[in-house]
Structure 1
């Protein structure tokens, strides 16, 4: 069942407000505009993880606890570096605001208008 014109306008207004007010959330959840993976951090993480495994094995073989713990910590840090996405967000990775006609602004905010409409509907049914 298709949306009515009013529902489509309301959905578009909600979408515009989301893009305008919470661009970081949209970029995180959007997934489509994430861009290329950071291969440098992946390679660095893998190299650290391999060095950490070597340190862990050396610590166990030599029975030196400190070397084993440091190897494990190095391995753990390498894995974290490899799997953590970069925090740099380019301008192209944030979706642009959809092109739709500007809704006229009334006195209250979006949620106030929505609550007023809800109250009017409830009053009409009683």
Structure 2
């Protein structure tokens, strides 16, 4: 069953919006940097210390020790899971200097899908 003109326009608008947002995501750092193993290790140690303090706060009925243990545990997990913010320009751009090209130079499945999508969009416009 063919779409009405209004439905076709709405679908085209949604496709353009999705394509624009996807390009913005790739350009603004859709990639994560390398994990910072030091912060992961420190975070795990803080979380373990926080669990120990939380258990100690329950074992000896001290509310402040339990709360401090929970805060320490939460901070450790947050530190371990937060991605590294240090991205070099080489991580984002390729030899062509374009963040968009860097996403396509990766070769894999996503790069091929993006190339097919761009060819399809260029054929329509």
TM-score by length of 2: 0.54
Q: 2:84 aligns with which of 83, 86, 90?
A: 86
Based on CA coordinates, which of the two structures has the bigger radius of gyration?
Answer: 1
CA-to-partner distance for each residue in 1:59-115, whole Å, 9 max, x for gaps? 00010000000000000000000000011111121133139xxxxxxxxxxxxxxxx
- Across the aligned residues of Structure 1 and Structure 2, the Cα RMSD in angstroms comes to 3.0
Structure 1 stretches of 4+ moved >6 Å: none
Q: 2:67 aligns with which of 61, 66, 69?
A: 69
Give the gaps of 5 or more residues in structure 1: 1-13, 100-117, 119-126
- Give the 3-state SS of the residue equivalent to 2:54 in structure 1: helix
Give the gaps of 5 or more residues in structure 2: 1-18, 103-124
Distance in 1 of aligned mates of 2:69 and 2:41: 18
Aligned to 1:121: none
More helix by share: 2
TM-score by length of 1: 0.53
